[in-house]
Chain A
């Protein structure tokens, strides 16, 4: 018996199911729960998705604005960066490479971020209204570094992609993609820490700022 088998044997001994029937009932219960993945109880949701999403972003110290169309994103980004005296050179996900960045006065490259990049512009797989959260999937065109290494992360969120809860996010993922990508990351605001004298500080290893641009809706 190898280590794995010894550990599993000790677990089975500890659980002491007894009969073979009980053993197969356990396997069936597990299959059933995994196949059906029932939802646990959640609090009442008597709010509208988009207002709730915006309100929660604010409470997380993200900033939020709404625009009507995707084409307006470069203008919105330029305004945000200008108002906050931030650098105008950014990196973005490939899905935004065709927008009119130069016309808005911005220098934007569609590539993964490095330690030197100051502003990262990403999309989302979807966003979670309940908590003001962005759901990001790893993939060839959704670089992890964009929302991680730069000090400023700008996320473009189509209003139609704001779902109510993480559970809804999982269902959307299952329906649209089938399986999980290598990494699913839920981002809720700028990075934070309260390890020194319980004092909250925004901006530690991840971004200092998260700016969310809600498109449409």
Chain B
């Protein structure tokens, strides 16, 4: 996907000024935050499960090479064809080759964030193949020619009215106003595609090393159709999606679905091992799995490794005050919110996403809800450190920090400077004790008054006291 993270500030400002988006984000927050909290009440040993989930993901990352080798061995033993891709471009090329070899004209797709990273849909469409997203939210944004704004609810930024307009325009049927009716219409419109597609493409929530299995977590039923009806199925997955065993998947799922949507379990869990077997009446003739690097080995080698634990639940963004205010598009790439603030610079380059790790208060609401305990604020801080080390911060900022540190290391100078500031501040506040415009503090004063200091610093008052 094209990177527009450099425009974060502008897009955030647009988002803040959009009342419909505000309403949509309020809805998302209300449902997701309370849904998660309610569903987690039944896990009386939540913290124990969280710690174990973190361990299981860390185990997978610590032994990633061996686990991927076992996965490949087991998948191939069942007739799957396993491919490896270093870059997003290679993924796209591999998929096209598989499609061409199988005379594929139509593809149905069940959501893949990795597919968004590589721009898979556009690539295949440019090659003359019809690609149909089948998750309702992905279908909506595909028709609207947009990008997803949330990893679980990609069309959350769209109102029902907007979807109604879109469907009327694309389906050429009478405009529906009821959400239930719109949903039925989408089912009716998409159903023939499921039955006539030559190939299905999915992502993978997890790759299970123990059995060579690729699994997806869905609610709609399109995932099941995509992995069963067409004659070819391709699953694409980042290297970090590996888990060791079926048991690991089972217990982590308890946290994943609750963290994502507040469900104790999602509607369909689909575990696929190899293509159609002898005697099966359904299933694809060919099952391909593409294991993808695309920057993940670089993150594995870095001090951002913990971010690879991510199980794509979306809880961090649901609970983030910044995401809650500006939504997902401002982040400018595939992953928004706190995980996006870390993965985007990691995958697309630090200097292409300078604002993202800085656009955070480090409140750690994200870290507290992350089912695998990714220390997101710490990772954002590390990215900030990298920016400083590489001289990527604007000079006024660097200068201010240097001056502050210089003064703070020199108590006498510090005392003098702060004494002056306290007096000036008291004077500037006048009788109201409130400063409306701070000289040199335009960025603060644009949005807030400054309560005036009291005229003397604590140091002075303490000295007088004694």
Contact = CB atoms under 8 A, between A and B. Distances in A.
Interface in B338-392: none
A10 B247 contact: no
Contacts of B190: 205
A42 B183 contact: no
B250 A138 contact: no
A115 interface: yes
A187 B220 CA distance: 11
Contacts, number: 251
A188 B297 contact: no
Chain A interface size, as a band, is 35 or more
Interface residues of B, number: 103
A40 B53 contact: yes
Contact of B68 (A2, A8, A144, A148): A8
Nearest to A56: B264
Contact of B266 (A115, A170, A181, A188): A188
A60 to B, nearest CB: 8
B219 A193 contact: yes
Interface string A1-29: 01110111011111110000000001101
Interface stretch (B134-142, B322-330, B428-436, B458-466): B134-142
Given A3-B84, A29-B63, A205 B134 contact: yes
A152 interface: no
Nearest to B272: A183
Interface string A148-171: 100000000000000001110010
Interface string B262-284: 00111111111111110111110
Chain A interface secondary structure, helix, strand, loop or mixed? loop
Nearest to B24: A197
A42 B282 contact: no
B202 interface: no
B22 to A, nearest CB: 13
B31 A10 contact: no
B463 to A, nearest CB: 54
A102 interface: no
Interface in B182-211: 182-184, 186-187, 190-192, 194-195, 209-211
Interface in B54-94: 56, 59, 62-70, 78, 84-86, 90
Given A40-B247, A205-B225, 4 more contacts: A39-B251, A139-B279, A183-B271, A198-B153
Interface of A: 2-4, 6-8, 10-16, 26-27, 29-30, 33-34, 37-44, 56, 112, 115, 131, 133, 138-140, 143-145, 148, 165-167, 170, 179-199, 201, 203-207
15 contacts: A3-B84, A30-B66, A34-B70, A40-B247, A40-B252, A41-B49, A43-B45, A143-B281, A166-B253, A170-B250, A181-B273, A193-B136, A195-B154, A204-B219, A206-B220
Closest 5 CB pairs of A and B: A206-B221, A40-B251, A14-B301, A205-B221, A140-B279
